[in-house]
Amino acid sequence: MARDTVETHFTEAVTALSPGAPRDPGMPVREGTTLTGARCRELFEFQLGSRLLDVASRWLREQGEGFYTIGSAGHEGNVAVAAAVRVTDPALLHYRSGAFYLARSVMAGRLPEEGLRDVLLGLTASAEEPMAGGRHKVFGHPDLAVIPQTSTIASHLPRAVGVAFAIERARQLGLAGAWPGDAIAVCSFGDASVNHASALSGLNTAAYGAYQGLAMPVLFVCEDNGLGISVRTPDGWVAAARHRLLEYFEADGCDLADVHDVARAAAEHVRRHRSPALLRIGTVRLMGHAGSDVELSYRTKREINADLERDPLVATARLLVEAGLTTPDELLTRYETTREHLFKMAMESSRRSRLASAVEIMEPLAPRTPEAVAPASTVAAASRERAFGGRLPELEGPLTLSQAINRTLADTLAAHPDVLVFGEDVARKGGVYGVTRGLQKRFGAGRVFDTLLDEQAVLGLALGSGVSGLLPVPEIQYLAYLHNALDQIRGEAATLSFFSRGAFRNPMVVRVASYAYQKGFGGHFHNDNSVAALRDIPGLVVASPARPDDAASMLRTCLAAARTDGSVCVFLEPIALYNTRDLFDDGDNGWLSPYAPPARWAETHIPIGRARSYGDGRDLTIATFGNGVRMSLRAAVRLTAEGYSCRVLDLRWLSPLPIDDLLHAAELTGKVLIADETRRTGGVSESIVAELLDAGFTGRIARVTSADSFIPLGDASRHVLLSEGEIEDAARKLLG
């Protein structure tokens, strides 16, 4: 449906309206509704602005000055949702919630032109757009409590549930969160999104929490136009598919009076009962999915015209005219005046500066302030005494990797009341491998708790908690399980700072039990060695400690980076090394390390992107990480006994890679062997080779990796995983 068709229909339909008897603007526009004439006129202005923004977006595209044409035409009834909630209620908006955004902007005390200009600057990809700065067209603004969302379908629902959860959890813990204690979260989305796994995860998580008596104040708003681009949503499907434990409300989004009253009732229910609800707003879609959409290829003219007859802008105009609050001529004059003014604003916006360099584009991607990240002793002695029951970890003697992580988490929980540790089995059980054992007993179920078995839900709770002022430390039980919910990190967590120029952040440290080599326990999903999907996410920090002392220091670094810089960190914990004690011989306790007391945290600090070197050999550098560190050290000892001089470089950080340390070690020996437990194709070794070559390294390079295979059960895994013998043989070949 072309924009001129929609505009012509509006003009003709409004012209044909018959004015009613004049009515007091303070009276309802229609019997049986609470929408007053004055309020209806206000909301019409936002609906009109949203419609004309869509018209302008198509015009800008025709001029070669606009870059986004997915609009809100037909969905303008969502303005009533904005009117039903508070300016301080955090909102995560569907890309067709334009009228909501304009209303929220004015409700927050801004001039009407400011909200319009926000959107126009986004359409023209201007660097002056106040949220994303030309990086993407979003609805978002820090002063409006509107958290920007990309167009990833439904991926924001788990985060919305996390925001609702965090509102209540912060209040219960007596913390000053980002939102008022009586706020509710508002999340809008389309009908096609109802079928998406992340939407189902969000809706189910909210219902699951409410079923257990947890406060989950989230209002889900489904703007149902019956189409997902060209795919039809069956009539009644949203109502039929809704979770039975969610309070359900339904309104005609093309009737402003109806959606106004129903939205108020839905918002009031969520606020009063602190429980989730789903509001379905029946809408139409005008002008197609986007500017390039040819609707006639999948819809009949009769269907398109039927939507046009339900145009919500015309319907609101009818309410005003029939209530005697205005005349058709006044409305048409207002339409033309606003249109002319908006087009002038659009042209002016197209002349604003745009992003001009890679440096400028990437500036908000992953800010790093290493000088501010170095941890200091912030734990009061008395708090530590209570947290550890009088037995401080530095007095325990050498610890395993698992114990070191546990003690670091305890120190963090004792020092920072806003830290939450959660995931599947982490509370009573203390994690499948006991890493979080005892933490819930010491710090309470409000801060250390189990979640439902849904990785999207786990990460959604973390996303919502992080953007709400808390510091979440979620656990994903196995590396392979992370892939079930990777878009929560890729599409949601890693993009928020980028698309908000740092105005919104979701700091978090995601702990993941990782890699292979478990004894007596195997199979693909519990022994996964794929990290490629993490390493190509811009700005993501990927930590991979091997030794207990490094694990403690690196975890403190990740936590400090999350708190200070808003970093999103994934902390890969080698399962096979959790309880390893020995390095070379049984009983040598060579893989244990003492726990550093707070007074030594700054001294033992490990900056992001710094490697650790073992030995001072000049013949060969073995670059490795994770389980490869222990295997390489054992191989290096045998090679040393044969007269070779080797050093082992533990990369420790897989993203960003410690390039400077790698190059230094490579130049010292002139030969580099990469021992990589991930796969040969798409593994870490490929990037290491590329970095060495890009830096002009002219020495010899070789690599040994695990095979391009999934990991089978039991002893068969040895045939596809990197082994000590392979490292040793490759080293001899390179040295020879």
User: What are the residue numbers of the active site?
Assistant: 526
CA dihedral 480, 485, 488, 493 (to 10 degrees): -10
Classify 502 in phi/psi space as left (phi over 0), alpha (psi -120 to 50) or beta.
Answer: left
449-483: b (≥16 Cβ within 10 Å) or e: bebeebbbbbbbbbbbbbbbbbbbbbbbbbbbbbb
Cα–Cα distance for residue pair 84/256, rounded to 1 Å: 12
Q: Helix or strand or coil: residue 403?
A: helix
**What is the DSSP pairing of strand 700-706 with strand 185-190?**
unpaired
CA torsion sign for 425, 429, 433, 437 is positive
CB within 8 A of 207, min separation 6: which ones?
243, 245, 246, 276
Question: How far is it between the farthest Cα atoms of the chain?
Answer: 104
Is residue 471 within 8 A of residue 501, CB to CB? The reply is: no
Question: What single DSSP character describes residue 450?
Answer: E
Cα–Cα distance for residue pair 131/104, rounded to 1 Å: 15
DSSP H helices, 595-658, are 627-641
Cα–Cα distance for residue pair 410/351, rounded to 1 Å: 54
Write the DSSP string, 152-199: -TTTTHHHHHHHHHHHHHHHHTT---SS-TT--EEEEEETGGGGSHHH
Cα–Cα distance for residue pair 92/81, rounded to 1 Å: 12
Q: How many residues can be counted in the chain?
A: 736
The first and second tokens of residue 475, run together, are 């656990």
